[in-house]
Structure 1
Amino acid sequence: MGGMTGERRLGRPRSEGTRTAILTAALEELESGGYAALTIDGIARRAGCGKQTIYRWWPSKADVVLEALLERAETTIEIPDEGSLSDDLLAFLTATFRQRGQRPTLVGLMAQALLDPVFATAFKEKFLFRRRAALRVVLERAAARGELAEGADLELLMDVVYGVLWYRLLLDHAPLDEPAAERLAALIVRATR
């Protein structure tokens, strides 16, 4: 055991293939069975590695999934600069709502965050707050162009946007599609005038 830390440091770059296999396996397991049925066992089996390998790098299945999500190309946040708040918001919300295919994953991570305060911190900082920061850039640019009413409450506006997103993700009672993005963008623009 004595040499473990040294081996681990060396082993990490060498086993990039294993790491990628684990992250891919986690997403595939999610697609096939959903978050509740996801287990470290299942991920390990699909990735062709031992459970210990996974636990060495991630404390829980939620952490594996979060990292897999962050690595996925479509999670990169494009910050549009179309020249007006309505165009920027529409581009931002359309791109954000396109991630509705990740609904089972996102709902599972939110459920985990509600149960696990340590994971909640990671989820907020690495995922939720990064998205919020991107939307803040859109709103601050609009403010700099003079498009927002004096004293507009940016925090509340961001809560409205992500409130709608998460409410619809969690309840699945109404669509997250392009028309929804258009209506929400229009609502925010009206609220800022």
Structure 2
Amino acid sequence: MAPRKQQEIFDATLRLVAEKGYDGLTVEGVAERSGVNKTTIYRWWPSKAALLGAALVEADVLGFDPPDTGSLRGDLVALVEGMIRLLTEEPSADIAVAALGAAVRHPELDARRFFADRFAREREIFDRAVARGELAASADPMLVVDLLAGAVWLRVVFRGLPAPDGFADAAVSALLDGV
């Protein structure tokens, strides 16, 4: 399948899940919105869960490149700022909350691939920090990411509060320097 057409299918999938939730997402709806036949979609993805799982990882709208500011602190601040943008700016905010929220209620939607892919990219931040001598090799990168991402999700999604200016710096400082 042509990469552009694949992105159109992923975009249609993510926008539909944002508009209608996982229960309202259908392969027929994706086919109609993306201008392809539903048999084409089923040829590549056997179910709506497989389609949404692929879209979460491969769609340009949720694309992610790990920051490289030259320091662990700078990279983590940039990472948190990226998480804030993901959860507060359109169209990614509605998509991320709807799709990842659906993964909690629908085990057939395996979001582990999304998180594994994202963490594999985030891991580069920690590998560079270890190489620069900023971080002990025994540090747990996943714990660091979980603590920072948890702070963003809790503030922005669950509490419905804005992340004020300086939130990323404060979260990273609390983690690296302690409270």
TM-score, normalised relative to structure 1: 0.69
Amino acid at match of 1:124: R
Q: How far apart are the structure 2 equivalents of 1:74 and 1:48?
A: 19
May I ask how many residue pairs the two structures share in their alignment?
175
1:154 alignment partner in structure 2? 141
2:112 alignment partner in structure 1? 124
Q: 1:152 to 1:71 in 2, by over 3 A?
A: closer
Q: 1:132 to 1:60 in 2, by over 3 A?
A: same
Percent of aligned pairs with the same residue? 33
Contact 2:7/2:59 (<8 A) preserved: no
Residue 183 of structure 1: how far off its partner (Å): 1.9
2:82 alignment partner in structure 1? 95
Q: How far apart are the structure 2 equivalents of 1:16 and 1:134?
A: 22
Tell me which structure has the larger Cα radius of gyration: 1
2:14 alignment partner in structure 1? 27
Q: Map 1:67-106 to 2 at 5 A.
A: 67-100=54-87, 101=89, 102-106=92-96
Q: How far apart are the structure 1 equivalents of 2:68 and 2:76?
A: 9
Q: 2:98 aligns with which of 91, 94, 108?
A: 108
Q: How far apart are the structure 2 equivalents of 1:73 and 1:142?
A: 27
Q: 1:65 to 1:180 in 2, by over 3 A?
A: farther
Could you list the per-position Cα deviations for residues 90-121 of structure 1 after superposition, in whole angstroms to 9, with x for gaps in the alignment? 1222223222232332233334433444532x
1:190 alignment partner in structure 2? 177
TM-score, normalised relative to structure 2: 0.73
Moved more, 132-141 or 171-180: 171-180
CA-atom RMSD in angstroms: 3.1
1:173 alignment partner in structure 2? 160
Are 1:140 and 2:130 counterparts?
Answer: no
Amino acid at match of 2:45: W
Unpaired runs of at least 5, structure 1: 1-12
Residue 139 of structure 1: how far off its partner (Å): 2.4
Q: How far apart are the structure 2 equivalents of 1:48 and 1:76?
A: 23
Amino acid at match of 1:108: A
Runs of 4+ in 1 over 6 A off after TM superposition: none
Q: 1:50 to 1:168 in 2, by over 3 A?
A: farther
Q: 1:167 to 1:35 in 2, by over 3 A?
A: farther
